[in-house]
Amino acid sequence: MAEKDDTVHYDGPSGGWGSLKGVARIFGKEWATPMALETLRRQNKPGGFMCVSCAWTKPEHPHPAEFCENGAKATLWELTERRCTPDFFAKHTVTELQGWKDYDLEQAGRLTQPMRYDRASDKYVSVEWNEAFQAIGAELKALDPKSAVFYASGRASLETSYLFALYARLYGHNNLPDSSNMCHETTSVGLKKVTGSPVGTCQLKDFDLCDAIFFFGQNTGSNSPRFLHTLKSAVERGCRIVTFNPVREKGLISFVDPQNPVQMVTQNATEISCLYYQVKPGGDIAAIMGMIKHVLAVEDRQWTEQEHHLLDVDFIEQHTHGFDLMVGKVKSTTWEEIEQESGLTRTDLEAAGQVYCDAEKVIGIYGMGVTQHVYGSQTIGMLVNLLLLRGNLGREGAGISPVRGHSNVQGQRTVGISEKPELVPYDYLKKIFEFDPPPEKGVNTVEACEGIIDGSIKAFVSLGGNFVRAIPEREQMEAAWTKMRLTVQIATKLNRSHLINGEIAYLLPCLGRSEEDMQEGGAQTVTMEDSLSMIHGSVGKRKPASEHLLSELAIVAGMAKSTLAPKPTIKWDEWVGDYGKVRDLIEATYPDKFKDFNARMFTPGGFFKGNKARERIWSTDSGKAEFTTPTTLTGVGVPDKEGRYRMITMRSNDQFNTTIYGLSDRLRGIEGTRDVVLMSPKEIAAAGLAVGQVVSLVSDADDGVHRQVDGLTVTPFDLPDGCIGAYYPEMNPLIPLWYHEKLSKTPAAKGVPVRVLP
Ligand SMILES: Nc1nc2c(c(=O)[nH]1)N[C@H]1C(S)=C(S)[C@@H](COP(=O)(O)OP(=O)(O)OC[C@H]3O[C@@H](n4cnc5c(=O)[nH]c(N)nc54)[C@H](O)[C@@H]3O)O[C@H]1N2
Ligand SMILES: Nc1nc2c(c(=O)[nH]1)N[C@H]1C(S)=C(S)[C@@H](COP(=O)(O)OP(=O)(O)OC[C@H]3O[C@@H](n4cnc5c(=O)[nH]c(N)nc54)[C@H](O)[C@@H]3O)O[C@H]1N2
Ligand SMILES: [Mo]
């Protein structure tokens, strides 16, 4: 699979020496202090601490170093020696800091003390913890609870998340959007609709048994590199991997295991995908339609010629609903339409479909390339259709495995961070805490933004994250943000969201996960749930970055105590003193998932919270697994038009979401800048542009709003026609707030309509 010579690309494999250099380049030689090495050695191991980077599972038998380039970066980022102290804030006004780049803000180092925004001097000034809690509590008490939003970025532990959600409900709202609303909400809604499960069904052992893996829109090499080890082993025992992605992502092409001395010396990379298709952005519905068309054709032939079914007809009969309708739709869709919408040929799709037919056990994988489209739920439905045809759900070695983002994003939803009350066991909450939780649905991320714009949302409390940077419609949102009465940010490092302040604003610094969390009852453990629904304990051992830091759990409890009237069932101080008591509450609220929680939290490889769909119990409307009849062949929400491109917003391997570690997108060969617009040489020529030309992008959403990003260098890159690539979060001003997935309202960041302005 040779790269095209006239495009920017990376010649090496993923992993290998490049990944080690990647770490060294950012942190210099000093990073390898004995303490940092000791911390990394404990990363993702039983009894150690769980990586703050991605959510990929932590195996029972870890590698000597069970972390990747990005996990190491994320940990070292937290372990930095730099400190962002009250002195720093005395030197810089907030207005001045608004002019800094994201990278420079985080370079200021770890936040050390609680700070209050002083409007008169336009500076952050230090404040005592108790004073901050009292002031926040007083503000919240004066507001209608429904006008407050409690946001969580997917890092905080299960214990903290449980209490954060409880705090919201005791106070009186379900306004609990989560980073998941911008991420895998399409899974929580779309996968649940068809399988009853809002999360993946696979376990790690399935990857040892499967015969084929179909990959849609997930960039393993950059975003969950530890997963490459699993894929490499699968390929080496003969599993076939078929990938659909507009970008030829290195990690899915070849991989050198940095932990394998022989591979490192010989640079004999493992080929990961046997077939790689550069589908159009949003073209996956059509691509899967083509594969299904082929599977159905083979079934017909096999039945007529040999009276033997290719399809698992018993499974379809017993366990599914909607088969005939779906088949009707597939049969009435022509190959011309499929080729047009997918950008792939019939021959290619038949070859991919044949891999499916030849495989006994199949796993489907997907990521943001699927979820961040207007019709993302239908793409998930199509992938599930494909799997259902041969009973590849609820069986060993088969299933569906969305790859989650933040290290505990899935877990936060599990323990009650949800704007949807029907997903939370209110009966248990009522019994345990003796209160009436609010029955009204709360706001998700997009609705929170709408409420901030229309003035109905007046307070925003953020448990981590960088909301204003991560959401769409940046310009309008930043302007609206300052109209809120109260903004509170719980964070480890300074970012843009801390500089766009409400009337009253607090910045509360917390411990990082690698740090020792000492409370009255001794050093504390926290827990997370990974992408494969495994629950792990995590113990930080490092000395905290500052003596003034509090744990996230203690900060949540501190605010809650000063907001809410005391109640005998609510024991904030006890819970802060011993997180084991919070785990007891989690177990009492979710007895099936968290049985013997405290006793099992250090199970090597984690303990499985269970999955009904895995056992072929379908919690759907029909009580069966649902075949989806798609209403569209494209995931994109606006029609094509002369001069309109579909923009994919991309992540580099040198960033974690809005945290930019450096300007090297090594695996794509883009170095030294993120201000680029990637286009195929053919599209560059067709648009009359020149390589290296500096252009602007404007949104092309036909809604009368002008959105523009300037200063982007035209860079030749191997991409399908009609599509351009550019970086997240820099391009977020171009995404209209209303441009989101239909069912889940996940912003559709992978098919944004834009024009190029020379
Ligand atoms: N290093 C690093 N690791 C991370 C993160 C990070 O920013 N940096 N972020 C974390 C988080 S929160 C998340 S959610 C995950 C995100 O991890 P991923 O799910 O991998 O997300 P992206 O990198 O945004 O995009 C995934 C892939 O989708 C492809 N794609 C775009 N459009 C389409 C399409 O229409 N069809 C198909 N088939 N493919 C498409 C893109 O080319 C890209 O390769 O990673 C987590 N891990
Ligand atoms: N255009 C476009 N937009 C996107 C995406 C995209 O692909 N394209 N992806 C979306 C996705 S998948 C996601 S998940 C969101 C991400 O949105 P968020 O989760 O809100 O953003 P992050 O960049 O992950 O948050 C980084 C900040 O978290 C804080 N932090 C780090 N560690 C800790 C900790 O341990 N505790 C606390 N309290 N704070 C901590 C630091 O201050 C850091 O600056 O963005 C979404 N936006
Ligand atoms: Mo994410």
Cα(470) to ligand 2 centroid in Å equals 7
Q: How far apart are CA 338 and CA 696, in angstroms?
A: 33
Q: How confident is the model at residue 79 (pLDDT cuts 50, 70, 90)?
A: confident
Distance CA 743, CA 733 (A): 23
pLDDT of residue 15: 73
Question: Could you identify the atom of ligand 1 that is nearest to the CA of residue 280?
Answer: 35
Percent of the chain with pLDDT over 90: 84
Ligand 1 centroid, distance to 750 Cα (angstroms)? 9
- Compute the distance from residue 52 Cα to the ligand 2 centre, in Å: 11
Q: Average pLDDT of the chain?
A: 94
Residue 44 has pLDDT above 80, yes or no: no
pLDDT tens digit sequence for 493-548: 999 999 999 999 999 999 999 999 999 999 999 999 999 999 999 999 899 999 99
pLDDT (tens digit, 9 = 90+) per residue, 192-245?
A: 999 999 999 999 999 999 999 999 999 998 999 889 999 999 999 999 999 999
242 CA from centroid of ligand 3 (Å) = 23
Ligand nearest to the CA of 342: 1
242: Cβ below 6 Å to ligand 1? Answer: no
On the question of pLDDT at 155 being above 90, the answer is: yes
Handedness of CA 672, 110, 67, 242 (dihedral sign): negative
Q: What are phi and psi of 694, to 5 degrees?
A: -95, 125
Q: Is the pLDDT of residue 311 over 90?
A: yes
**pLDDT score recorded for residue 2:** 45
Q: How far is the CA of 749 from the centre of ligand 1 (A)?
A: 10
Q: How far is the CA of 404 from the centre of ligand 3 (A)?
A: 7
Of the ligands numbered here, which is closest to the C-alpha atom of 734?
2
State the closest ligand 2 atom to the C-alpha of 184, by its place in the atom list counted from 1. Answer: 12
Task: Provide the pLDDT confidence category of residue 4 given band limits of 50, 70 and 90.
Answer: low
| Ligand 2, CB cutoff 6 Å, lining residues | 52, 106, 153, 155, 179, 182-183, 368, 372, 405-406, 463-467, 470, 490-493, 495, 510, 512-513, 552, 649, 657-659, 728-729, 731-732, 735, 749
The pTM (predicted TM-score) of the whole model is 0.95
The arithmetic mean of pLDDT across residues 402-412, rounded, is 95
Q: What is the DSSP letter of 194?
A: H
Q: Where does the pLDDT of residue 22 fall: very low under 50, low under 70, confident under 90, or very high at 90 and above?
A: low
pLDDT, average across residues 75-96: 93
Largest alpha-carbon pair distance within the chain?
A: 84
Residue nearest (by alpha carbon) to ligand 1 atom 2: 223
Write down the pLDDT at residue 264: 65
Listing DSSP states for 585-618 in one string gives HHHHHSTTTSTTHHHHTT-TT-EE---TGGGT--
Q: Whose CA is nearest to atom 16 of ligand 1?
A: 405
Residue closest via CA to ligand 1's atom 39 equals 217
Instruction: Specify the amino acid at residue 536.
Output: H
Environment class of 237 (CB within 10 Å of its CB; exposed 0-12, middle 13-18, buried 19+): exposed
pLDDT tens-place string over residues 338-377? 999 999 999 999 999 999 999 999 999 999 999 999 999 9
Higher local confidence (pLDDT), 45 or 688: 688
Q: What is the pLDDT of residues 578-631, one digit of tens each?
A: 999 999 999 999 999 999 999 999 999 999 999 999 999 999 999 999 999 999
Nearest-angstrom CA–CA distance, 380 and 386: 10
Q: Return the percent helix, strand and coil in the chain, to nearest 5.
A: 40, 20, 45
